[in-house]
Structure 1
Amino acid sequence: MKRMLTFIGAILVFLGFALVTQPAQNENTKLTQQKTIKVGILQMVSHPALNQIHQGIISGLKDEGFKESKNIKVEFQNAQGDQSNMKTMAQQLADRDDILFGIATPAAQALVNSADKSTPIMMAGISDPAGSGLVKSEKHPGGNVTGSSGDSPLDKQLQLIRDVMPQAKKIGVIYTSSDAGGQSNAKKFAKLVKKAGLQPKMYTIANTNDMQQISQQMSNNVDAIYAPQDNGVASSMKTLVNNANQAGKPVFPASDTMVTDGGTASYAIDQHDLGRLAGRMAGKVLKGKKPAEYPVGFVVKGTYVINQEQIDKLHIQVPDKIMQQAQKNGKVIK
């Protein structure tokens, strides 16, 4: 009889423990228990930097065990710079997918405005998450949004300009008025320029159609040009470089892909790394981590990227130390 009572008691304890723990387990693994998780990615526009972030997202998800045709289905939408398209696409993705990625600030904002608060939204390479209103703070996002941020290493980018162009006094800074991240970076950079005893000269474009006229004007009135991490500027980089070349002025962009598109040199973080970090973070969210309590991730280490063709064309001398570092750890584009 005692054995029977002991056995029954053990069963009751086991059942009680299972009832207590089961809801939490279901809550944390609801998405990963699905046969296929639907992943929605919204990109603002096509240009190399954002394309690399997109590729990085897929790599980061794969790092966490989430692969296309195995356990995730990826739906990708590109608004190509059209705001009305972006709103429509954001709503479609929000209606269909389990987790969402916004590549560039406007894309992330469109997803936040379209999705319900239970859908995780991952920022991918957003320059100023808190300033853009996407999270309450980088350390404590406080909602359904988190992800990666790649604020440019502005101090090192300014130092690069001073090392390469020691006689430069007037630094042109161009940004897109509708790009919150680009505007934030441009204004922060201008403050650093002023603090260094140089003169920042600000130029604004409303969209890529303005670049031809504005960049011509700027190139004739400055000694060097800084192009921040800005989607409108990145999309019209070749126009900017063409006009700067005609005036004999170097363009120092924020990202490595903008150097590939004709920029002179940069100290830049890797855009693929930004996407990969967002993808890895998403994998952990899918495994149960809550976005509200998941601090925004940052990529801070950069490398020198030098465009040898532009250096030769503008007859610029890059200090040996910088060139050696670019050759060893960064990139020299020939």
Structure 2
Amino acid sequence: MRRRDLLAGLLATTTASALRAAESNKVYRLAIVSTVADLSESGLYKPLFVELRRLGYVEGENLVVLRFSAREDTSRYDTTVRDAVSSSPDLIFVTGTSHLLLRVKALVRSIPVVGGMNDPVALGIVSNLARPEGNITGISVDAGIEILGKRLGILLEAVPTASRVGFLCTEAFWNSAGGDAMRAAARNFSVKIVGSPLQGAAQEAEYLRVLDDLLQREHADGMLVTDGPQHLAHRDVIVDFAERGRLPAIYPYREYVEIGGLMAYAIDRQKLYRQHAHYVDMIFKGAKPSELPIYQVDKYTAIINLKAARTQGITIPASLVLRADEVIE
């Protein structure tokens, strides 16, 4: 049986007798550890809270949510994780970056952990996707160099004259295996990477500095925005700049396109966080992380915003429009 089929079966039977029912009088303690600042129910993780509520977990009633943010500062990772452990949670949910999850792995031994991650085997988070064997499970959203190459290929098909492409990424990503994959993708397409990574705990001013540098000094004629919740939290700034600067860009999530971004080749974040909520539910009901296979996301959707294309003066080839999974008119 494939891991995806096995997990689908587990998700479909969360209320089955194999998992004991949640205790009606128990209050569950969920610690959320993230790199982003906004961990509210109305923020980036809204789909998680909505699904938890649907599953019967209501903050303030039978659920206590403990929020811990490193605020995009890598020097705060260990302190943030230790603060979460000290809060005595029943489960820790980690999101934001695999580097943060690696610190959780190093510092947390007995508390169940659910996390979003890149390639967990390559990173050393787990040794086996089907049976994680430790206290960590979750969802892998990594497609390696293929996803960066795919996004870059779509961008260059939309703007075939582009030769200087800016990759909007953090310094940590730039210096990681992801950065190596990014540079390899650029070489494969014979384009030049221009610009520099975001420095430190990037806020709006840092995003504007890097974006302005791409246009004014580096004369970028295209931009690829890498995955990362910190970028998503600043999507208004990024999309608005790209529109005003007529900088064709491809994004990692549909949320960018919904507010005027040009294109995305994206996973379904809504579904992703709903699945995370089911992991939380199963563990609250007695399942062990070692029994829950790590789910691998492998479905990506191509979305094109033709209204944004017209605004930026870009003519998207008909062949690309026809192949898109979704077109916003």
User: Which bracket does the TM-score occupy, shorter chain normalised?
Assistant: 0.7 to 0.9
- Aligned equivalents of 1:62 and 1:234: distance in 2? 24
- Aligned equivalents of 2:189 and 2:73: distance in 1? 38
- Aligned equivalents of 1:73 and 1:240: distance in 2? 34
Structure with larger Rg: 1
Q: Does 1:162 align with 2:156?
A: yes
Q: Does 1:222 align with 2:216?
A: no
What letter is aligned with 1:136?
S
- Specify the alignment match of 2:142 in structure 1: 151
- Specify the alignment match of 1:278 in structure 2: 276
- Aligned equivalents of 2:177 and 2:34: distance in 1? 20
Q: Deviations over 1:104-139 (max 9, x none)?
A: 125534544553x22101103x33434554333544
- Aligned equivalents of 2:153 and 2:177: distance in 1? 19
Q: Does 1:141 align with 2:132?
A: yes
- Specify the alignment match of 2:67 in structure 1: 76
Q: CA deviation at 1:226?
A: 0.7
Q: CA deviation at 1:195?
A: 2.0
- Specify the alignment match of 1:188 in structure 2: 181
In structure 2, do the counterparts of structure 1 residues 296 and 331 end up closer, same or farther at CA, with 3 Å as the change threshold? farther
Stretches of structure 1 lacking an aligned partner (at least 5 in a row): 1-27
- Aligned equivalents of 1:320 and 1:52: distance in 2? 36
- Aligned equivalents of 1:31 and 1:109: distance in 2? 30
Secondary structure of the residue aligned to 1:39 is strand
- Aligned equivalents of 2:226 and 2:193: distance in 1? 13
Q: CA deviation at 1:47?
A: 6.9
Q: Deviations over 1:5-50 (max 9, x none)?
A: xxxxxxxxxxxxxxxxxxxxxxx859858722222222321479x9
Secondary structure of the residue aligned to 2:45 is helix
Q: 1:310-329 to 2 correspondence within 5 Å?
A: 310-320=308-318, 322-323=320-321
Q: CA deviation at 1:179?
A: 4.6
Of Structure 1 and Structure 2, the greater helix share is in 1
- Aligned equivalents of 2:220 and 2:89: distance in 1? 48
What letter is aligned with 2:311?
K
What letter is aligned with 2:84?
L
In structure 2, do the counterparts of structure 1 residues 235 and 195 end up closer, same or farther at CA, with 3 Å as the change threshold? same
TM-score (norm 1): 0.73
Secondary structure of the residue aligned to 1:205 is coil
Q: CA deviation at 1:270?
A: 1.6
In structure 2, do the counterparts of structure 1 residues 51 and 88 end up closer, same or farther at CA, with 3 Å as the change threshold? farther
In structure 2, do the counterparts of structure 1 residues 134 and 54 end up closer, same or farther at CA, with 3 Å as the change threshold? farther
What letter is aligned with 1:98?
D
Q: CA deviation at 1:245?
A: 4.6
Q: Deviations over 1:173-222 (max 9, x none)?
A: 23111358x95444323323322344444632223254333323323333
Secondary structure of the residue aligned to 1:203 is coil
Stretches of structure 2 lacking an aligned partner (at least 5 in a row): 1-18
Judge conservation of contact 1:60–1:278 (CA < 8 Å) in 2: no
Which of 31, 37, 45 is matched with 2:28 structurally? Answer: 37
Q: How many residues align?
A: 300
- Aligned equivalents of 1:197 and 1:205: distance in 2? 24
Judge conservation of contact 1:170–1:223 (CA < 8 Å) in 2: yes
Q: Does 1:94 align with 2:108?
A: no
- Aligned equivalents of 1:30 and 1:111: distance in 2? 28
In structure 2, do the counterparts of structure 1 residues 259 and 184 end up closer, same or farther at CA, with 3 Å as the change threshold? farther
- Specify the alignment match of 2:120 in structure 1: 129
Q: CA deviation at 1:281?
A: 2.0
- Aligned equivalents of 1:264 and 1:283: distance in 2? 37
TM-score (norm 2): 0.74
Which of 103, 106, 109 is matched with 2:95 structurally? Answer: 103
- Specify the alignment match of 2:11 in structure 1: none
Judge conservation of contact 2:165–2:224 (CA < 8 Å) in 1: yes
- Aligned equivalents of 1:286 and 1:239: distance in 2? 38
In structure 2, do the counterparts of structure 1 residues 146 and 202 end up closer, same or farther at CA, with 3 Å as the change threshold? farther
Runs of 4+ that moved beyond 6 A: none
- Specify the alignment match of 2:172 in structure 1: 178
- Aligned equivalents of 1:134 and 1:226: distance in 2? 28
What letter is aligned with 1:122?
V
Secondary structure of the residue aligned to 2:120 is coil
Q: 1:50-69 to 2 correspondence within 5 Å?
A: 54-62=45-53, 66-68=57-59
Judge conservation of contact 2:140–2:297 (CA < 8 Å) in 1: yes
Secondary structure of the residue aligned to 1:93 is helix
